[in-house]
Every structure is written in structure tokens, then in C-alpha cells.
Amino acid sequence: MQAAADTQEDRTAELIPPVRAQAPWRVAEVEALPGFRLRVCFNDGSAGIVDMATFVKSESAGVFAALRDEDAFRQVKVRLGAVSWPGDLDLAPDAMHGAVKKHGTWVLE
């Protein structure tokens, strides 16, 4: 005879509500553009361009050097309100939001 717990599906996922990033500085949408640039839109409706060309090609790129491959760069997506890539690479959405809101662009160097 099987225990009742063994006959039911694992329903843990139903108990935990999905995470929805609601802060105004969280990224809602991202699109890869030519030249290592991104178009971003935030929860508060502000939008602009993130220019990563100089940074990605620099000696100080560190783990972001993997994004020098444009195919890898285009794999960008929004994850939990942040711009991210495979390999746990992401950008700080609050710093990005401040620069984009003030200047329309955020240039990483």
C-alpha cells in the first residue's frame, strides 16, 4: 500500500506565487540593437538606450567579455526586472534607470 503523499503530484509550485518585479526602476522590456546597444523600457514607462560597446571590448570587461560575440549579446532578456544573459550575467537596473531617465542613455565604459 502506498502512502497518500506518494500518489499525489508535487504541488509546491502552486503554493509559491510567481515573482513580479514592481519597482519603477525594474526593466520591463529589452531589445538587442546593433553595435552592442540595448533598448530598455522600465516599469515606470521611461525608456532609452544602453551602450555597452566600449565596455564589452575593454580590458576591464571581465565576465562580460563573453558578450563580445554578437550572437551571445543578442541572447539578452529580462529576468526578475534586470537585463540578463545566460551565465548569470546581469546589469544593475537601478543604476541603468537613473542614467536613462536623466540622459536618455547609459554608456558603460
The pLDDT of residue 13 is 53
The pLDDT of residue 25 is 86
Query: pLDDT digits over 3-50, tens only?
Result: 555 555 555 555 566 656 678 889 999 999 999 999 999 999 999 999
Q: How many CA atoms lie within 13 A of 31 on its CB side?
A: 7
The pLDDT of residue 1 is 46
Q: Which residues pair with 31 in a beta bridge?
A: 39
Q: Quick check: 50 and 105 in contact, CB under 8 A?
A: yes
Domain residue limits, the chain: 19-107
The pLDDT of residue 44 is 93
Give the contacts of 33 (CB within 8 A, at least 6 positions apart): 39, 49
The string of DSSP letters for 18-30 reads PP---STTSEEEE
Are β-strands 89-90 and 82-85 bridged in parallel, bridged antiparallel, or unpaired? antiparallel
CATH of domain 19-107: 3.30.2020.10
CA 98 from chain centre, in angstroms, equals 16
pTM: 0.79
What 3-state class would DSSP assign to 2?
Answer: coil
Grid cell for residue 31: 531589445
DSSP 61: G
Query: pLDDT digits over 52-97, tens only?
Result: 999 999 999 999 999 999 999 999 999 999 999 999 999 999 999 9
